[in-house]
Structures are given as structure tokens and as C-alpha cells.
Amino acid sequence: MLQQMKETKEAPQMLESYDPSNGRKLGEVRVSTAADVKATVARARKAQVGWAAMGVDGRNRILNRLRGVLIDRAMEIGRLVSSENGKPPSEPVALTGPLCETIKLHTGMAKRLEPGVKVSPTFFLGSKARVFYEPLGVAGFVLPWNFPFELGVKHMIPALAAGNAVVQKPSEANPLIGELIVDLFRDAGVPDGVVQMVHGYGETGGALIDEVDVICFVGSPRTGRRVMERAAQTLTPVVLELGGNDAAIVREDADLDYTAQGLVNGTCYNAGQVCNGVERIYAPAHLVEPLAEKIVAIVKELRQGDPSGRGQYDIGPITWAPQLEIYEAHTADALQKGAELRHGGVVDRRNGGLFWLPTVLTGMTHDMLMMQEETFGPFLPIMAVQSDEEAIRLANDSKYGLGASVWTRDEAAGEAMARRIRAGSVMVNNAVQSGGCVTLPFGGEGDSGVGRVQGEQAFYTYVATKSVMTCPKSTDNLWMPYDAGSAALAKGFTKVFSGRRVSERVSGVVDVIRNWPRRR
């Protein structure tokens, strides 16, 4: 099963896919060797020429057809993602909406930027200055197992809209989802070679980094550092979306019923296997007990697994079995240091799958692993604080800086607190779902990564910036050889455009007129 799928020095010829809820084999794909990766990128490079030559309108027509494909095949997508990834079918089906909005955002952006962006020529009077954005060539993607379909599609859209070809290495846990993604793009009319997959382990990802013109990696900070080191050998630009240990701050005035429900959703969505999921909770001391009681009551009602076989459940299995070791270590550490287990804390092994029960703990302290490291599971550890100031200080006491949330009836106060939290995304009275607001940048600070993988900022990751400046013949008045008035002329221009007072600017005009050189 997945335990047997760890990275090895000698990759097997075939990569097998299993259903994490029961261990049933779903299929297999061929592992891509370094030579395979090189050939795949070469095909992509050749296909990219034609893709770019289509122009923005031609590419946009095809990419916008993908929206219809996603809608028409949503239930098929839900079934496969549920089988290979373990999550309820409703979750990937629901995320087709943000994918469609991502397409609209970046096709619109490509159209807007197509003629270039006019900028000021500053003191180069009579000149025209414009910035153009051109595709880099082939964009590579090494993506994770927790959201293999959603990220597998979403992260490639800006690269494609900008005119690049793409090659993706999906997680070794989800190869069939990767093949489905290629089929969806083909169904929309994307030419052969523009969207391709390579499969395998770390060696395959490394070979991809060596060949492409830009790399997007989503995964752990440890692997992210290795990606950046390898990319440095070829000066390949990178964007890294890494881990998180997101804090939730519950204020004195929070609606506890609403907050408890929101914290459970922000923790248990996708079985807690979410980089920006709630991982630690800070609440006023006198609210810890009532909040914990409400949370326990909610998680007891959640359906874990799918005994009916009809896709009617809330929490799926552990997708990547090695996570169990982290869950057990973090739980044992918290209990050994004095935390009280209120619910869960154990694995339910059934029908060949691993199901971790939603785990609620109180009596947390900041020296516990769960409060410092990424657990990446359905854990709700609650720590008592004495004030908002203490909560902010503890929220910022982390090597991560991906996301956070503030829970309060006072939206203005919540937004003010959000500005003080060191995180790339902060939600007020919600958690996790900012990742579905595709107009917002997504990424973080510290061990949470480099760059942004969502919003308009993502588009600029996959383009080369070209400056074009067209000058009138009079520009030669600024050329060599210099004369006695050249320095005064330069100072005059500076005063005209950057003077602190009107009088200083007028003085600059006089200097320019007096020292303007005669035409040669």
C-alpha cells in the first residue's frame, strides 16, 4: 500500500495507485526516467511554439472551453479523486467552481496585458515606454498528494494563459488523477504536448527541475529547500508553496457556537490534510472549556469513512500513510507534557484504511510539538491566553507564516488584528476558504515558502518582463560628448521632475532652457 510507495534509489518500472480507504489497487502508470523527462520537456518546448503563436485570443478560447469540460465532467472528477485521494466526492466537485474562476481571472489578465502596459518615460520627454510580458517557455510543476486535482489544474492555468507549455509531476500517491487532468485539457482542445505528465519519485522531480524554465513546487519545507538548491544549479526561477502551522485566535466576544463549527470545518476539511488548515487555537482562559465542549459535540457527529458506499461522509482516511507517525508522535508529546485529551487521539484501522479520529486537546503549552510543527491532520489543540496581545504574540511565534484566522463579533477589530499577524493570508470569522478565493494571492513567509501561487501575482511567475522604449531624435541632445552645461542641464531636469517646491521646479526649467545644447 502507500507505506510501500516511499522514495527508493531504484524506482520501479510501474507506479501503482491504491485507494487509501481500503487498500484496493486502482491502476498503475509507467515511471518516467530522467531520459523520459528530458524527451517530455523537449516535446513541450516544441508544442509551446505553436501554443504561443495562437495568440491570446486563440489560447483563451481553448482555456475557456475547459470551464465547460470541468462542469460537464464534475461528477466523474469527484469519483476518481475520492477513490485515489480519499476525500468525500463533494469536495473536489465543489472546487471545480474556483478552478473556473481561475481560468476567467488569468485569461482576462492575459488579454489585458497583451498590448503591453504603458508606463511613464519620466524625464525622457517625447519617448514612449511600455512593458510586455512574454512566456518563459516550459513551466514545471511538482505537486502534492493532498489536493492533487485542484492544485494540479489551478497552478497550471496562469502558465498556460501566459503562453507556456507545462509539464507536471503529480504525487506518486495520485498518478491516475494526473492522467485525468491531461485528458480534461485534451477534451478542451489543448494541442498535444502543451500539457503533459511525468510520473515517479524524487528522481523524476529532480530531472524535471533540470529541464524546465520555471518550477512550481508545493510540499514540505525540507523538500522545498532541496528544490531551490537544485534549481540554483541552472538559475531556474522557483515558486514554493510549503507548510503551515496556522493559528486561530478566538476573541472574548466571539460567537462560540459559530466559532466552534468554523474551527471544526477549518481543521477537519480534507481530513485536516490542508496546508492552511487550523493547527492551533488560542482562546481566553474562561472560554476554553465551553469552546472545547462545543467542538467535541460537533466532531462526534461527523461521519468518518463511507460505510454506505454512496459517498456520504465528512472525513476521509489518511491519504499518505507515513503521516500516522507524525500524528502519534505529536499526540504523545502533548499528553506527556500535560495536555488533556478530550476526544480522538487514536487511529481507526478498518477495511485496509487508516482513519484518524478528530482530536481535541486542552491544557496546551507552547513547548509542545503540536504548537510548533505542522501536524497536517484533524487536530484541535486549544491553548488558554490572557489577552489579544498574548494571542498575537504566540501566533507570530512560529517558523511558519502561511495563514491564520481571527474569530470575533467585531469585524473592525478582527481586521486590525489580522494586519498584525505574520501570515500570507488571514481570515476573519472563517478559515481555509481563502484558498478558494482565487483573486487573492496565496503563499506565506518563513518556512511557508517563496512567492505566491494564486491571484494576479501568480501570472507574473510564468512570464519574462520585456521593456520597450521608443525615443525621438531629440534624445541625442543627452548623448556624448558632454559640454560645459551638461551637469547643469542634468541637475535642471532633476529639479523639474523631483523638486520639493514649486520654486525649485521653476528654477529647474530655467536651468534646462539655459543649458539646452545646440543641435549637432
Amino acid in position 472: P
401, 446 Cβ separation under 8 angstroms: yes
Active site amino acids? 241, 275
Residue 334 backbone dihedrals phi, psi, to 5 degrees: -65, -45
**Dist. CA 172–CA 18, nearest whole Å:** 10
If you compute the radius of gyration of the chain from its CA atoms, what whole number of angstroms results? Answer: 27
Alpha helices in 421-501, H assignment, sequence order? 456-461, 486-498
Kindly give, in sequence order, each residue whose CB lies less than 8 Å from that of residue 58, ignoring residues fewer than 6 positions away: none
**Dist. CA 514–CA 489, nearest whole Å:** 8
What does DSSP say about strands 238-241 and 214-218: parallel, antiparallel, or unpaired?
Answer: parallel
DSSP string, 239-297: EEE----EEEEE-TT--HHHHHHHHHHHHHGGGG--TTSEEEEEEEHHHHHHHHHHHHH
The grid cell for 248 is 486561530
SS3 203: helix
Strand extents, DSSP E, 386-510: 400-401, 403-407, 425-428, 445-446, 449-450, 463-470
Classify each residue of 500-519 as buried b or exposed e, where b means 16 or more C-beta atoms within 10 Å of its C-beta. Answer: eeeeeeebbeebbeebeeee
- According to DSSP, the residues that pair with 236 across neighbouring strands are none
132, 506 Cβ separation under 8 angstroms: no
Cis peptide before 284 (omega within 30 of 0): no
Amino acid in position 65: R
Residue 197 backbone dihedrals phi, psi, to 5 degrees: -120, 145
How many other CB atoms sit within 10 Å of the CB of residue 85?
29
The grid cell for 83 is 477513490
**Dist. CA 490–CA 495, nearest whole Å:** 9
DSSP-based helix, strand, coil % in the chain, nearest 5: 45, 20, 35
Q: For the chain, give the longest Cα–Cα distance.
A: 90
SS3 32: coil
**Dist. CA 400–CA 223, nearest whole Å:** 15
**Dist. CA 491–CA 479, nearest whole Å:** 16
